[in-house]
Structure 1
């Protein structure tokens, strides 16, 4: 299964926006403005002129979606990629009677915690802020986005050819770029509205295909954060930040996980009345105490992050629908180096742009999903975060 449609690739090569396939490496070098649907606007600072294929303007994309180059693209070393591919071919042969075999599911099925050492990354601290599994999924979904964009360009080219009554080797006209996170539309969506609280979430747009679905359960899946998380060790949760700057922080790191993908900012408005309607067992708050007298926040974070005790029950969180509290800063691997939550300090707290502890809203489990479906989905907006915006944000980190 090719990532790029044949006709689309033919036109890109003719226009100097892609190089012919490197058969030895199994990759195609493609201009960064011809990857996914948002790439043209995200990379608008890069000129659309034929060049030597410099990595400043081009990205190496696997030729085949199911291949060793794809496994390497997902972040694995050569040796590990060959090992996973061997296992994949064996499973594919065994399941050949099925119509479809989930390639990334098979890859993740062979992923063990020790495999974190078999991936490439220049900075262990940055890498370990996000689980290996989540990164693999994001990069694979990013490839699917590239594949879809190529198919759409090929279809548009064919339609143009039919209108012209002959062959067309030109690129189809580009659709108008979607509003970005710094647009007037985004500012209006983020503005305060009496009776509502506006919340933000930064993600990789590769996970957001589900957000255009008519099925609420599919939309909710796209919003989920994989456990273990700050407030939930054993079940999924939907997290949004109070501060827009904090959401951009997560969008920035999403882009680091998948450089060929697009980062996005989700904005929702939640009725205050809906939050206030929750009972004391359904609505829980837990904040970091800067004086160090109350260690409940540290205890919850520590035990959830290391998949330890069912600490939500201990703290009375077993019936929580919504948890509001301070955001923890460190990756899971960090907590595994601690002997107990007592060793946690201010350095483990994520601060906002004003230097105050950042706050998040977390909807937990099935009841949390029901709340989000009932009160949040009708007023949800998604905006691309351009590479220029991310670069400016990165300089402030």
Structure 2
């Protein structure tokens, strides 16, 4: 990786943003301050209420600008993604003093080597999140202890342990959420980098056109703003709470499924024209509820469940944009399916218990359960608890209601249902029959969710 490709903001884009007063010079600690409307492909709309004319040195700049690393692979990135100062020092020291023995992998920043494995920066920094040092306890003190051993900052610990999301948090382990958050924040920096590259390309195109040199700063601001949106092919202008999104949920004759996640995880889902390009960005890795060894496509038919996941992601995010994927399928496409193409499996049936138990443990299913593994679409109850908790169960007969995810912030609702499209058959079905829209889940959406769901006691 070259020094220029490691920079988050490209040189030409940086110069243009400095000219407009939208980014600072590099600070001694390897960071810059950038206006929140110039972060990524959704930030201009999400932060439209923030003026572009706020001086960097003003008091208002505290809320208008975000501090980001100048370089993607850097010590500054370690603190940005959520490590403490001490842990950042230790990790960065290990990275820059990398061993060079014959059996050691090379870093992604090193020259290529034909016979050596490559260690990426994100894999390196998520190394502390090991299954051997993990917890899924409902005691927050256990989580604080483990996260302290990981070297996570107080800020990140507070985000993960926010009591508004305790029920959802306990569906996975401490290591899972720590890694998910660090990966999300790192992916967010890549989204900022991608937006900067697009702005630079636009600046170069503009410079090549006759008569563009006299463009004023305000004209430049408008054109770059439009570019940030035009490059976000497939991403709606409207938020997930907009009239357009609400109408999309209630389209007659359609089944609408949802998935809440951060936008960096669906990079490449659409091509530059907004057409579906790579649906595998929506895959959930194994092991999962209904698959021990293969990735599957999981969606919820309940927008409230998707909003819960999106809200927890937004709570743990820094500059990252969060979205809800809308997967729309004609009812007739599902209604025309019959067994063995479509199967249903719900709690508390013995079939559900055994099938999920085997899947979470990466074990082969028994012959009576093969019909579920061979389906194109499985509709069934969503499981709860991290994978290692399922591994501790000696028998599927020991599964209780505590292993079922329920709707509602505190799990007081009905068992959650999921639509799961299996392997290549499910992928082919979705590609042929579905329409995908992505609606940003903005800070305003998050604030509305918090107002409606916030618990009445402080974080402790």
Q: How far is the alpha carbon of 1:157 from its aligned partner? A: 4.3
CA distance in 1 between partners of 2:191 and 2:99 (Å):
22
Q: Does 1:68 align with 2:75?
A: yes
Q: Does 1:286 align with 2:345?
A: yes
Q: Is the 8 Å Cα contact of residues 104 and 137 (structure 1) preserved in structure 2?
A: no
Q: How far is the alpha carbon of 1:106 from its aligned partner? A: 5.0
Q: How far is the alpha carbon of 1:257 from its aligned partner? A: 4.2
Pick closer, same or farther for the CA change 1:295–1:85 going to 2, 3 Å. farther
Q: Does 1:396 align with 2:452?
A: yes
How many residues are aligned here? 386
Q: Does 1:4 align with 2:9?
A: yes
Counting only pairs closer than 5 Å after superposition, residues 41-60 of structure 1 correspond to structure 2 as 41-48=45-52, 49-50=54-55, 51-52=58-59, 56-60=63-67
Counting only pairs closer than 5 Å after superposition, residues 185-196 of structure 1 correspond to structure 2 as 185-194=244-253, 196=254
Pick closer, same or farther for the CA change 1:46–1:314 going to 2, 3 Å. farther
Pick closer, same or farther for the CA change 1:139–1:340 going to 2, 3 Å. farther
Q: How far is the alpha carbon of 1:22 from its aligned partner? A: 2.1
| 2:383 paired residue number | 328
Q: How far is the alpha carbon of 1:243 from its aligned partner? A: 0.9
Counting only pairs closer than 5 Å after superposition, residues 264-275 of structure 1 correspond to structure 2 as 264-275=323-334
| 1:165 paired residue number | 213
CA RMSD of aligned residues (A): 3.5
Gaps of 5+ in 2: 1-5, 101-105, 135-146, 230-235, 454-460
Q: Does 1:138 align with 2:142?
A: no
Give deviations 1:29-63, integer Å, cap 9, x for gaps.
22322211211221234444223586544322121
SS in 2 for 1:361: strand
Q: Is the 8 Å Cα contact of residues 286 and 295 (structure 2) preserved in structure 1?
A: yes
SS in 2 for 1:113: coil
Q: How far is the alpha carbon of 1:362 from its aligned partner? A: 0.6
Counting only pairs closer than 5 Å after superposition, residues 11-26 of structure 1 correspond to structure 2 as 11-23=16-28, 25-26=29-30
Gaps of 5+ in 1: none
SS in 2 for 1:207: helix
CA distance in 2 between partners of 1:81 and 1:303 (Å):
40
**Which of 329, 348, 361 pairs up with 2:419?**
361
Q: Does 1:83 align with 2:94?
A: yes
Give deviations 1:197-218, integer Å, cap 9, x for gaps.
1211212111222121389995
Q: How far is the alpha carbon of 1:312 from its aligned partner? A: 7.0
Q: How far is the alpha carbon of 1:349 from its aligned partner? A: 2.1
Q: Is the 8 Å Cα contact of residues 293 and 362 (structure 2) preserved in structure 1?
A: no
SS in 1 for 2:256: strand
Pick closer, same or farther for the CA change 1:387–1:14 going to 2, 3 Å. same
| 1:107 paired residue number | 124
| 2:112 paired residue number | 96
SS in 1 for 2:8: coil
Normalising by structure 2, we get a TM-score of 0.72
| 1:237 paired residue number | 296
